[in-house]
Amino acid sequence: MDIRQLNALVAVVDHGTFSAAARALHTVQSNVSTHIARLERELGAVLIDRASGALTEEGATVLGRARRVQAELEAIRLDVTALRDEVSGVVRIGVIGTTGRWLLPRFLETMAETYPRVRIQVVDATTTSLLPQVVSGALDAALVNLPVDHPDIEVQPLFEEEPMLVAPLSHPLSAYDVIDPEDLCDHALLLNPPGVSFRDSLDADLAARGRVLRPKAEIDGMRLLASLAVDGYGAAVLPATAAQGEGPWKRVAVRGLTRRVVGLIANRRVPPSATTRVVRGVLSDVIAIHATNQDGIYAVE
């Protein structure tokens, strides 16, 4: 098995066609086809359906391993460079939008000042989208909602957030400073869909009180949910970091709801490079300094 064969498979998947993969690898299409064919002969399996261009089941398995091999090779290069010179390289970080909004300006500024030769690539997405990218090796780490339960993932909890109600000033609940969870059930609300950890936690809290939330709309994207609430479309239950600032809306505390936990996830099967370790350390330091300066945010005990 040749690393060029694995690189060809990854490139075909990432770029969609053999010809596009060849351009990305700065070679010709026949070389890409040859590498894939030799890999298939060696493994005794078809990896890419030539008719549809889709990965077979065997191809999907090999692709995951190939991405981890690429990550390991890049980690070797970065570790040696870090020993010889200053820390450098590219680190790919995922982040949920509500955390990225306040964290990234501070984090990127600190990285630029402390490690100017490290280049950060940021993916802004939901937890459900970021998790498979960390599992596949497409991301070196990600800041997500917890809990996350996956055998290939290691988790570092970082901070907790109180759930808050954000209501337009025209909404009946905006007249209050604090409400009980049961009060939420008297109104149709903007919510995440079931299956999102924040929504599942809310449902569990209300179920323990014998009550059920009524959705006005269900949106898998906390930042979009917050935008709809502050723009006046309806009241939304949001984590505290999504309810910062001022405007024609009211932030209402809700007694007794379970706090959301945000943490850093990484692939336990891919040891981090020296560069990735530095980035994780800066992330943790910036969060420790700045997270709890915000109302409704608490350090993990």
Helix 57-84 vs helix 274-290: angle between axes, to the nearest 10 degrees? 80
Distance CA 172, CA 20 (A): 56
Domains within the chain, CATH numbers bracketed: 3-75 (1.10.10.10), 86-160+261-299 (3.40.190.10), 163-258 (3.40.190.290)
- Sign of the four-CA dihedral 137, 139, 141, 145: negative
Distance CA 79, CA 276 (A): 10
pLDDT number for residue 142? 96
Question: Within 13 Å of residue 238, how many CA atoms lie on the same side as its CB?
Answer: 29
Q: Which residues pair with 263 in a beta bridge?
A: 144, 157
pLDDT number for residue 87? 80
Residue whose entry in the numeric block shows the structure tokens 């609300």: 189
pLDDT number for residue 295? 82
Distance CA 28, CA 256 (A): 62
- Tens digit of each residue's pLDDT, the chain (301 residues): 788 888 888 888 888 888 888 898 889 888 888 988 888 888 888 888 887 878 888 888 888 888 878 777 777 776 666 555 678 888 999 999 889 988 999 999 999 999 998 999 999 998 989 999 999 888 999 999 998 989 999 999 999 999 999 999 999 999 999 999 999 999 999 999 998 889 999 999 999 999 999 999 999 888 889 889 988 899 999 998 887 777 789 999 999 999 999 999 999 888 888 888 889 999 999 988 888 888 888 888 6
